[in-house]
Amino acid sequence: MADIIFKTQGVTKVYDTGELKVYALDGVDLELFKGELTVLLGPSGSGKSTLLNILGGLDHATDGRVWFDDLELTDMSDRGLTRYRRDHVGFVFQFYNLVPSLTARENVQLVTDVAPHPMPAEEALDLVGLGKRMDHFPSEMSGGEQQRVAIARAIAKRPQILLCDEPTGALDSTTGVQVLEVLRDINERFGTTTVVITHNAEIQRMAHRVIFFQDGKISETRINAERLAPSEIAW
Amino acid sequence: MQAIDKKLLRDFRRLWMQAIAIALVLACGVAILLTSVGMYSALSETRTAYYERNRFADVFVHTTRAPESLLPEIARIDGVLNVEARISGDAILDIPGRVKTAVGRVLSYPEDREPVLNVPLLVQGRFPNPMVTDEVVVNAPFAEANGFEPGDSFSANLRGQKRELTIVGTVLSPEFVYTIGPGALMPDNTSFGIIWMSERAAAAAFDMTGAFNDVAIAVAAGLPTAPVIDAVDDLLEPYGGFGAYDRTTQQSDAFLDAEISQLKGMAAILPPIFFGIAGFLVSMVLSRIIALERSEIGLLKAIGYSNTEVCLHYLMLAGLIALAGVLLGWGAGTVLARSMANQYAQFFNFPFVIFRVSYWVYAAAGLAGLATTSLGAAHSALQAARLAPAIAMQPPAPPRFKRSFIDEMMARLRLTQPTIMILRSLLRWPLRSFLTSLGLALAVASVIASIFINDALNEIVDLAFYQTNRQDAMLIFSDDVLETTLEEARTLPGVLQAESQQFHTAILHKGHLSKRVAVEARRPGTDLSRVIDASGRLMTAPPGGILLSIRLADQLDVQAGDVIEAEFLSGRREAFDLVVTGLVEQHFGLGAYMDLAFLNALFRQAPQLTTVNVTLDEHQTEALHKAIKELPELSGLIEMTENRQSFQDTIDQNVTVMNTIYIVIAVLITVGVTYNAARIQLSERARELASLRILGFDRGEVSYILVGEMMLIALIAQPFGWLIGAWIARTMTNAFTSDVYAIPLVLQPATFTSASLVVLTASFVSVMIVRRRLDRLNLVAVMKTRE
């Protein structure tokens, strides 16, 4: 079995609105493995995104412990988390979150400017098949292209982990498949541990490992003996 | 260049209209700071250098006639460094080609040496040959105004002796940087000139052989002048000394000093206001940008940018705006300061102007601009830094609106939904509404503060020239003459009405306080020169007492009914106890008034007069001037009509310039505030307004929400602007009050109206420019964009 890259112990996240406490995560114990593509599945509000934010160092857990390799993220300072994100994590979001005033190339450079061992922005864009659209602004690109820029931006730093929150959520089926293909390609070519959040059940079929969420807890973990190529998936 | 820096530059380019609106306000502050500090240092450095090079005296005294043998005694007074004794006197001048007479102040020029003090600087020609009695040099502005060149000549009535004088040179003197003739309010170089002639000639003309009547004294550096003044007064008392005074009372220096301190005041008051408004605008715009870029901030942090980097990114945006403002301000300030320096050089007669705005002034102005905008940006930038990335990535929670009694009121008033939207938005962000209003209020205030000066000066002119001094001209005599001379004056050609007036220099004492003033005496019921108080009431100084202007009474700390001691420096130099019979509120000078008969009775002499005030038949001007050129006792004729006109012209010119500057400033502030506020409104409400359009509201109705809210804020700003404006005006009247004049607080309804009109119009135009964007709103795109 591969090495563990993420490990959580009783991770809990409580949103206290004053009148009532909302448990977004309720004692999650989890292990993720190096080089795997994991899909987190579950309905809205089941805690997937909260967990992804905690794993990515965007948020702190209310309770419980989190490790990345040997690095414990649990009580890490803001500065430490920034460092961690800068050095190890790549993010892909549902709404791409590109900076509208920067071209595709410059959006990627945003990362390569601060990452320790980045690949050239052009190479990252080539990898996602956008080598010819590098100097276009986000407003001049389709949704699928924008998402691929976002992926290029995430992988340009050669991250150990790629965290994707609903990467196909805003895309139609055909474009969504193209994006998934890029993700799988990256995962296979670089062995980048990839975590994909989705509430689209079809996507689980391309994962090594599928984790089901329900009410802030893991309800089931499944390992796919046989994975499908994205092109074989449709929704 | 890093990608994040490219983002910065592109953001700046996208915001350029807003950025320029802010930068212009900031530039105003920087430019005014540079100009006022630059002018202040130019004037004071030039003055210091000029005074030093040409050895301007520290103490001055005029006396009736003192023997030269007294000079060594004056020189022996403790602290006295140098003494220059001179002969001085006034003369009526007959200038070829000029119908009207001019007045000349004659000063003696030493024969075999250069003067040790108040050294005139030769501009053209040479100094008079001591052996030739009709050679003179004149002050350069007088020569220039009358078109004189060395070699030209004019005639002068020197104590009844008509003499032809030849100009051999022109000079400038530190004593006459600001040259103002007797009885005049503004410099008029055509009708008043300074004439230097050889000591021998002056002594002969004024009967001063072996004597002098004017002394200038240099006091050792760092020593107080007061003990020297006392000692000189004691020495000169038997010789009719008129009381020594130092530079603070020397006319030319006093005017220069008033100007310099005004510049200092300007540097201290105005720039901070502009910096403050620019800071506020930056904070307003940046907080909106940060609200709009919430998800980008989250993204930057998710990617690994640190809080400091994010904070710096937004601070640098403010820094770019500041940079634009500072550069604009530096440019405008340099040009403005230079042109003002040239204007000053014409107004004040300096031989040179040291104009050098030191680098530290530029640096300080730049730093102040940068600091205030950074301060304005700090809150928003820190907020950006503090935004937790996971939260930043989510859309912000919708603003909380709560029901309150105001909603019930609105419901009862049956307001339309758009009106309710306007009012709710005002109440939802009360601080922002208040600050926007405050910005516009300051714009209103700045217009009020400039227009009111116009009204105030008009009131001064009206009181001083049309109500107090109504004579066409004043005949001035070398010495007091018997009041019977009035009859002679009445027989002069063209004189319709003639009245006597007497002036005596006196030091008024009350306890330890004292003030040197000119006491005016007149007959009750005189019609041409009257005492009028600020409310236009005619005042008469009753026999047996003295009437004081309120500012003079304040300086002496006396009330009506108190007794003061008046030490007269003329006549027998006696001191009398006088009852203060009343106080007069006046804008001009430090007036002290007595009954002419009573004053002469105190002096135990037949009634005398110093000047005759006359009204004239203008058709006989030529004959009159011809006649007075021949009158021996006359030392001058002051044309009040000309005086009024030149004063009025100068005021009009200055006021027009001032008003234009302040209105431009107010418009800049208004545009800066309104344009930015409206842009922010639009960006916050684009989705809301687009929704309304989709629901079927037409453009006018949707525009109403945007324009209505801004104009409502602008309307609310008006009363605050009036209050602040009135307060600034009051502060200015207090700050500008000096011995020479007091600015009355005149606030006319028209002033408030014009100020409001300027600001409301500028507001409306700015918001209408933003409104145009509503027409271009792409309804579908707006609805699709993720908030």
Share of chain B above pLDDT 70, in %: 96
Across the interface, of A53, A78, A102, the residue whose CB is closest to B307 is A78
Backbone angles phi, psi at B196, to 5 degrees: -100, 125
Distances from the Cα of B730 to the Cα of A174, B456, B460, B534, B742, angstroms: 74, 11, 16, 16, 12
- Closest B-chain CA to A61: B390
How confident is residue B216, by pLDDT bands cut at 50, 70 and 90?
Answer: very high
Span B297-335, pLDDT tens digits: 888 888 889 889 999 999 999 999 999 999 999 999 988
- Are B303 and A111 in contact (CB < 8 Å)? yes
Judged by CB atoms closer than 8 Å, whether chains meet at A153 and B303 is answered as yes
Q: Return the top range by mean pLDDT from A91-100, B279-288, B592-601, B682-691.
A: B592-601
Cβ distance B302 to A101 less than 8 Å, yes or no, reads no
Nearest by CB to B2, from A58, A85, A113: name it: A113
Residues of B in contact with A53 (CB under 8 A): 390
A181 touches chain B (CB under 8 A): no
Q: How far apart are CA B266 and CA A171, in angstroms?
A: 62
State the average pLDDT over residues B187-198: 90
Q: A137-141, B403-407, B457-461, B575-579 — which is least confidently predicted?
A: B403-407
Q: Across residues B419-432, what is the average pLDDT?
A: 82
- Please give, one letter per residue, the 3-state secondary structure of B237-296: HHHCECCCEEHHHCHHHHHHHHHHHHHHHHHHHHHHHHHHHHHHHHHHHHHHHHHHCHHH
Residue B787 pLDDT: 41
A58 touches chain B (CB under 8 A): yes
pTM for this model (two decimals) = 0.74
Other Cβ atoms less than 10 A from the Cβ of B378: the count is: 18
pLDDT at position B275: 87
Pairwise CA distance, residues A138 & A143, whole Å: 9
Contact B101, B93 (CB under 8 A): yes
The answer to whether B571 touches B603, Cβ cutoff 8 Å, is: yes
Task: Supply the mean pLDDT for chain B.
Answer: 87
Residue B672: phi and psi, rounded to 5, are: -55, -45
Are the Cβ atoms of B3 and A56 closer than 8 angstroms? no
Amino acid of residue B169: G
Nearest CA in chain B to A57: B302
Q: Which of residues 118-147 of A touch B (CB under 8 A)?
A: none
CA dist B197 and B132 (Å) reads: 10
Task: Please write the tens of the pLDDT for every residue from B6-56.
Answer: 999 998 888 888 888 889 889 988 998 888 888 888 888 899 999 999 999
Question: Residues of chain B with pLDDT > 90: what percent?
Answer: 37
Residue B499's pLDDT band, with cuts at 50, 70 and 90, is: very high
Instruction: List, as one string, the DSSP characters of B43-84.
Output: HHHHHHHHHHHTT--SEEEEEEEEEGGGHHHHHHSTTEEEEE
Domains and CATH numbers, chain B: 1-35+254-397 (no CATH), 88-207 (no CATH), 429-470+640-787 (no CATH), 495-616 (2.40.40)
Output phi, psi for B187, to 5 deg.
-60, 135
For the stretch B99-137, pLDDT in tens is 788 889 999 999 888 999 999 999 999 999 988 889 999
User: Is the CB of residue B308 less than 8 Å away from at least one CB of chain A?
Assistant: no
Q: Is B386 on the interface with A (CB under 8 A)?
A: no
Stretch B375-381: mean pLDDT: 90
Q: Contact B388/A107, CB-based, under 8 Å? A: no
In tens, the pLDDT along B226-262 reads 999 999 999 998 898 888 999 988 988 988 888 888 7
Q: How far is CA B334 from CA B10, B40, B226, B354, in A?
A: 30, 14, 41, 14
* Higher pLDDT among residues A21 and B393, named by residue: A21
Q: Is the pLDDT of residue B778 over 70?
A: no
Cβ of B389 and A58 within 8 Å?
yes
Range B645-656 average pLDDT? 78
Average of per-residue pLDDT across B489-495: 90
Q: Are B306 and A82 inside 8 Å of each other by CB?
A: yes
The whole-angstrom separation of Cα B41 and Cα B35 is 10
In this prediction, residues B446-463 reach a mean pLDDT of: 84
Tokens standing for B302?
């998710």
pLDDT value at residue B781:
60
pLDDT digits (tens, 9 = 90+) for B720-731: 999 999 998 888
DSSP state of B399: P
Q: What is the pLDDT along chain A (235 residues), one digit of tens a residue?
A: 568 999 999 999 998 877 788 899 999 999 999 999 999 999 888 999 899 989 998 888 999 999 999 999 999 988 888 889 888 999 888 877 788 888 899 889 888 888 888 999 999 999 888 999 999 988 889 888 998 899 899 889 889 999 998 888 878 888 889 889 989 998 999 999 999 998 888 899 999 999 999 999 999 999 998 888 888 887 7
